[in-house]
Chain A
Amino acid sequence: MSDKADVWQGTLALMALKTLETLGPLHGYGIARRIEQTSGDRLSLNYGTLYPALLKLEQEGAITSEWGVSENNRKAKFYKLTRAGRKQIEKATRDWEQTTAILARFLTESGGQA
């Protein structure tokens, strides 16, 4: 593999949600590109993995989908954040921050002992 990081299970959904929050309604391809760009091309993303994640979000009611037309006049399925989706982002963000903060402490501590 390259030195690009693989996308962790579960984080992809949050990235997709955050993207929709920032950019508004967007199709799957757009979301995938945006995630790659935001990561500064440091993430290696199989675009195909995005679709099951989107389906799961839709089943959970975090997003809805609708067919529309893209900026360059292609038919595409657009995803849109719901109110439940926004709440999910807030919660997931909080969880993430907590987790990373805890992990950061562990890492610095063990680093100090070494």
Chain B
Amino acid sequence: MRALRAAMLRVAGLFSKNSCERELSAELESHLQLHVDDNLKAGMTAEEARRQAMLKLGGLERTKENYRDQRSVPFLETLMQDLRYAARQARKNPGFTFTAVLIMALGMCASVAIFSFVDAALLKPLPYADATRLVGVYESIEKICPQCNLSYPDYLDWKRMNVVFSSLELYQGRRFMMSGPAGAEAARGTRVSDGFFRVLGVAPVLGRDFTPGEDLPSAPRTVILSYAAWQNRYGGSPDVLGKSIVLDDQANLIIGVMPRDFHFALTGATEFWTTIHASQVAGTCDARRSCHSMFGVARLKDGVSVQTALANTVSIAHELERRYPESNRGQGAAVEPLSESIVGSMRSLLLLLLVGAGLLLVIACVNVASLILVRAESRRREMALRGALGASQGRLVRQFVTEGFVLVATGSLAGLALAYGAMRVLLSLIPSYLLEGMPYLNDLGLNPRVLAFAGFVALVAGLLFSLTPSWRLASSNARQGLAEGGRGSSGLTWRRFGSNLVVVELATAVILLVGAGLLGKSFYKLLHVETGIQPDHLALLQVGAPRANYGKDEQAVALERLVINRVSSLPGVKAVGIATLLPIGGNGNTTWFRLVGRPYHGEHNDTPQREVSVDYLKTLGARLLSGRYFVESDDMSKPRVAIVNQAFAKLYFPGEDAVDKQLAELSGKPPFTTIVGVVNDIKEGPLDVETRPAIYVPFNQNTDSVFAIAVRTQQDEQSILPALIATIRQIDVGIVATNPNTMVQRIADSPSAYLHRSSAWLIAGFAVLALVLAIVGLYGVIAYSVSQRTREIGVRMALGARPGTVYRLVLQEAGLLAAIGIAAGLLGSLGAATLMSKLLFGTTAWDLPTLAAVAGVLAASALLASFIPARRAASVSPVDALRAE
């Protein structure tokens, strides 16, 4: 306690120096007076009395010095001195200070901002109990669908037969029709098995969890709200428990509310969870073993590895395949850590960005270090002078260390502030539907881990910045430094060292530029992928009608015709089509079939199927290759018909015309479906996935109460969206109209386009900064070299060298550095590009045009950067150069 109090007062003593100093002088003066008085009384002369008193005190200055040491902390005292000196130095060279701090801040900003994303997505554990023991469980179909949904009957068998999971649960995120006093609306919810929250190890913050057996059809329907839904819909009122909400025409009792920080990324933003209550009506999806609609999540038993669990589930899948060949042929199993399911797709992108930001940081640090070196060079005389006046080598090094860390601290603080802004900007650039699938980004920010990372970077940078000039200091000596215009070996040493730094910078810039070039090219290729449609002037709207009123086939067909009719009469509408699913989505919603009249050995013919209206394909701008489009008369009363895409025709009817061929269900029994047309390949799935064979069937023969409208317009397609929504509302307020969009926007916002665009832009941003920094660095080295060789150049010119010779002299030096840097960079970028080949689309890592373009850009910039100092050198007047000494 006493020691602490004393220590605090000593630190405080640093700041109250002047008043203390005066008080000490007064006290010592009074001490001497008292002593002199005594000495005089003892009979000394006035002079002798003062001399003796002084002697006895042991010297005034020495006493003061000892006293000062006790008053504050000597180490801190000199530190404060150094800090003040550093601040003065910084103010004296605002250009240097500003540049160095800015570069440092930029490097820090990029790396910290990207690291915070890496931290939120990859480092921070999922908010579940013992999350590393959780796994995602999937059915799989070889090559077609590595991680597919489970069917409910399969799930029940897996749950019963497995020996590796302490529990296996189900979830299915989907839209529900939520009916309220203001009409119906679509709400995002999740159907779960009763143990869903228990397997995650998370309990509701209010109310109770589902109890075992609560997901059975016989149990009363219950629902647990998300925290956000509780706040938004019920104002956070605790008496929400016991109320009920109507979902899909069924009343559900609210029994609980989940905690605020609970999220389950795989279902996106969900407002509530309700239990499965599997339908037992034959033919419904829940009752069919071949209808795959749900995903599994499980907790591994103690000591069971993911591999063991996978082996066990695969053997169960084989067993089911044997028992139910009709529905389960080719159905395998997949098990992977839950975290992999959630963030696996983000990992390579984030790591790529982190490496990019890291490289930028390297360049920034190298750049600042060489700036510091140049300045240390110009301060050689100052240091030599201080050394000559008695400052120890250690004391001088400390000065550099202090200055280095002041620079880093300022730059880092500015960088952190910028990084915070950058995080917000990056977050706002993520389309909201993608962000909903990444709830772990919600608490993105400067948390302790991110700050620790920033601190570590700052520490390394600080060491670099303080040690480089110190090392430089050690290699010179005072006499040399003091000599006016001294041109010792030290100048040469630095030039070599600075040159090495520049080569590093140039090489790093090349790697980043090549990365940006490859990603940019991938993105371009992706946007120019053949979609098979004309995306401009296409407005889109999602429609959901309550099953109670529109669930029957004739009701759905009537609604479809009414919608098409009303929308067609809107001004500027050229064509209208509806489909159950729009292009540039997923390759899901598949159908199984066999070819009539061909031998069948249980092949897994599984292909996406879309139910479309008569004019849908025409509306999209697809081209009919043979046969005919659907007509209004292709309805329930007529034989089943289908249109297939080109990929389908090529795969199943190579060298033949697919038209008039027939397809059957897996049973192989009639009714058959006749192919009436072949249409060009439409990109139903993601842009970066090869178009799969697909089947289009008439909506009128395969109805649904949920579908999408596509409208080809004369005018700007965006402007028709409000009228489109109003039209649907006019038909029935109970129908939900969501996701108004344009096809162009849908393509641009699709996950693959977004991921490619964001990575290309970010890496391009890093690369441009890196290029600027590297070129500035090269300029610095060459300019310094020229300034060091002014005298030499003067002598050469006095002896008759022509300006051209001088140009060559300087450009040769720069050219050599640039050549080495570019060559090293190209080598490095081949490695880097191979590492990121997974993120490339339609572009190889060895993309020669990109490599050549980058080399060209860098060479041109390097030439420009060295031309300025070369010109200066060539315009040196020999007389001035020689006289400057």
Please report A residues at the B interface, Cβ cutoff 8 Å.
27-30, 33, 46-49, 51-52, 55-56, 59-62, 70, 72, 74-77, 84
Using A47-B58, A48-B59, A60-B6 as known contacts, say yes or no to A76 and B70 having CB atoms under 8 A apart.
no
Are B58 and A59 in contact (CB-based, < 8 A)? Answer: no
The complex places the Cα of A4 from the Cα of B149 at a distance, in Å, of 96
Q: Are B5 and A51 in contact (CB under 8 A)?
A: no
Q: Is the CB of A59 within 8 A of B9?
A: yes
How many pairs of A and B residues are in contact by the CB < 8 Å rule? 75
B contact residues around A72 at 8 Å (CB): 34, 37
Residues B37 and A52 in contact, CB atoms below 8 Å apart: no
Residue of B nearest to A28 (CB): B31
Inter-subunit contact A48/B6 (CB<8 Å): no
Identify the interface centre among A55, A74, A75, A84: most chain B CB within 10 Å of its CB.
A55
Which of B27, B30, B57 is within 8 Å of A46, CB to CB? B57
Q: Tell me which of B9, B30, B35, B70 contacts A47 (CB under 8 A).
A: B35
Contact, CB under 8 Å: A70 / B34? yes
Contact check, A48 vs B62: say whether CB atoms are below 8 A apart.
Answer: yes
Q: Check B58–A49 contact: CB distance below 8 A.
A: yes
Structural contact, B2 and A51, CB atoms closer than 8 A: no
Tell me which residues across on chain A come within 8 A of B9, comparing CB atoms: 59
B30: contacting residue among A52, A56, A62, A76, CB under 8 A: A76
- Contact (Cβ within 8 A) B34 A55: no
Q: A74 vs B31: C-alpha distance in the bound complex, in angstroms?
A: 9
A37 to B26, CA, bound (A): 25
Is B143 engaged at the interface, CB distance under 8 Å to the other chain? no
B637 is an interface residue with CB less than 8 A from chain A: no
In the complex, what distance in Å separates the CA atom of A75 from the CA atom of B27?
9
What is the minimal beta-carbon distance from B69 to any residue of chain A, in angstroms?
A: 7
C-alpha spacing A51/B28, complex, angstroms: 9
What is the bound-complex CA distance between A55 and B33, given in angstroms?
Answer: 20
Whether A29 lies near B5 (C-beta < 8 A) is no
Docked CA distance A52–B70 (Å): 6
5 contacts between A and B (CB under 8 A): A28-B27, A29-B31, A48-B57, A48-B60, A74-B37
Task: Report whether A29 and B6 are in contact in the complex, using a CB–CB cutoff of 8 Å.
Answer: no
Task: Collect the chain B residues with CB atoms within 8 Å of residue A52's CB.
Answer: 66-67, 69-70
**CA distance in complex: A52, B74 (Å):** 14
Which residues on the A side are within 8 Å of B38 (C-beta)? 33
Roughly how many angstroms separate A28 CA and B32 CA in the complex, as a whole number?
Answer: 10
- The answer on a CB contact under 8 Å between A56 and B34 is no
Q: Per-position contact with A for B13-44: 1 when CB-CB < 8 Å, else 0?
A: 00000000001101110110111011000000
CB <8 Å contact, B70 and A56:
yes
Are A46's CB and B10's CB within 8 A?
no
- Give the docked Cα–Cα distance between A33 and B57 (Å): 12
- A59 and B4 CA atoms in complex are apart in Å by 10
* Contact of B33 (CB < 8 Å), options: A46, A47, A74, A84: A74
**Contact assessment for B69 and A46 in the assembled complex, using a CB-CB cutoff below 8 Å:** no
Asked whether A74 lies within 8 Å of B57 as measured between CB atoms, the reply is no
Quick one: given A27-B30, A72-B37, A74-B30, are A48 and B66 in contact (CB under 8 Å)?
A: yes
The distance in angstroms between the C-alpha atoms of A76 and B31, with both chains bound, is 7
CA distance A52 to B28 in the complex (A): 12
* Contact residues in A for B56 (Cβ distance below 8 Å): 46-47
A14 to B680, CA, bound (A): 101
| B contact residues vs A (CB 8 Å cutoff) | 2-3, 5-6, 9-10, 23-24, 26-28, 30-31, 33-35, 37-38, 56-60, 62-63, 66-67, 69-71
- CA A27 to CA B136, docked complex, whole Å: 81
Q: How distant is A90 from chain B, measured CB to nearest CB, in Å?
A: 14
Chain A residue numbers with a CB within 8 Å of B33 are 74
What residues of B have a CB within 8 angstroms of the CB of A48 in the complex? 57-60, 62-63, 66
Kindly provide the distance from the CB of B58 to the nearest chain A CB, expressed in whole angstroms.
Answer: 4
Are B58 and A51 within 8 A (Cβ)?
A: no
Asked if A61 and B30 sit within 8 Å, CB to CB, the answer is no
A29 in complex: contacting residue of B3, B35, B60, B71, CB < 8 Å: B35
How far does the alpha carbon of A43 sit from the alpha carbon of B842 in the complex, in Å?
Answer: 93
* B6 with A27: CB separation less than 8 A: no
Distance of B27 from chain A, by nearest CB (Å):
5
| 5 smallest beta-carbon distances between A and B, as pairs | A48-B63, A46-B58, A48-B58, A52-B70, A59-B6
Complex contacts, B6 vs chain A, CB 8 Å: 56, 59-60
A72 nearest CB across to chain B (Å) = 6
Q: A51 — which chain B residues lie within 8 A by C-beta?
A: 24, 27-28, 63, 66-67
CA–CA, A77 to B24, complex, Å? 10
Minimum CB distance partner of B34 in chain A: A29
A27 to B32, CA, bound (A): 12
What B residues does A27 contact at CB under 8 A?
30-31, 34
**CB closest residue in chain B, given A57:** B6
Contact residues in B for A60 (Cβ distance below 8 Å): 2-3, 5-6
Chain A's closest residue to B30 (CB) is A76
Out of B10, B34, B60, B71, name the residue touching A76 (CB < 8 Å): B34
A51 to B2, CA, bound (A): 19
Please name the residue on chain A nearest to B61 by beta carbon. A48
Residue pair B10, A59 in contact (C-beta under 8 Å): yes
CA distance A46 to B5 in the complex (A): 27
Least Cβ–Cβ distance between A46 and chain B, in angstroms: 4
- The smallest C-beta distance from B63 to any residue of chain A, in angstroms, reads 3
Q: How far is the CB of B804 from chain A (nearest CB, A)?
A: 72
Closest B residue to A61 using CB positions: B5
In the complex, the answer to whether A47 meets B57 with C-beta atoms within 8 Å is yes
Q: How far is the CB of A26 from chain B (nearest CB, A)?
A: 11
| B60 and chain A: residue at smallest CB distance | A48
Which residues of chain A come closer than 8 Å to B67, judged between CB atoms? 51-52, 55
* A75: chain B residues within 8 A (beta carbon): 26, 30
- Other 10 A-B pairs with CB < 8 A, given A29-B31, A48-B63, A76-B27: A27-B30, A47-B56, A51-B24, A51-B66, A52-B70, A60-B2, A74-B30, A74-B34, A75-B26, A77-B30
Name B23's closest neighbour in chain A (CB-CB).
A77
Contacting residue for A61 out of B2, B31, B62, CB 8 A:
B2
B26 / chain A contacts, CB cutoff of 8 Å: 75, 77
> What's the minimum C-beta distance from B82 to chain A, rounded to whole angstroms?
24
Which chain B residues border A29 with CB–CB below 8 Å? 30-31, 34-35
What is the chain A residue whose CB lies nearest that of B56? A47
Specify the chain B residue showing the minimal Cβ separation from A65.
B27
Chain A residue contacts of B35, Cβ below 8 A = 29, 47
**B57 neighbours in A (Cβ, 8 Å):** 46-48
Q: How far is the CB of B51 from chain A (nearest CB, A)?
A: 14
B71 touches A55 (CB 8 A): yes
Q: Given the complex of chains A and B, what is the CA–CA distance between A74 and B57 in angstroms?
A: 18
Tell me how far the C-beta of A27 lies from the nearest C-beta in chain B, rounded to whole angstroms.
Answer: 7
Q: A47, B66: Cβ atoms under 8 Å?
A: no
Complex Cα spacing A48 to B2, Å? 24
* Cross-chain contact B27 with A77 (CB below 8 angstroms): yes
The residues of B that contact A74 with a CB separation of less than 8 Å are 30, 33-34, 37
Distance (whole angstroms) from the CB of A45 to the closest CB of chain B: 8
B37 neighbours in A (Cβ, 8 Å): 72, 74
For A61, what are the chain B residues with a Cβ–Cβ distance below 8 Å?
Answer: 2, 5
Min CB distance A63 to B, Å, is: 12
Query: Could you tell me if A47 and B31 are in contact, using CB atoms closer than 8 angstroms?
Result: yes
Q: Please indicate the chain A residues that have their CB under 8 angstroms from the CB of B66 in the complex.
A: 48-49, 51-52
Chain B positions within 8 Å of A76 at CB level: 27, 30-31, 34
C-alpha spacing A30/B30, complex, angstroms? 11
Residue of B nearest to A55 (CB): B70
CA distance A60 to B56 in the complex (A): 27
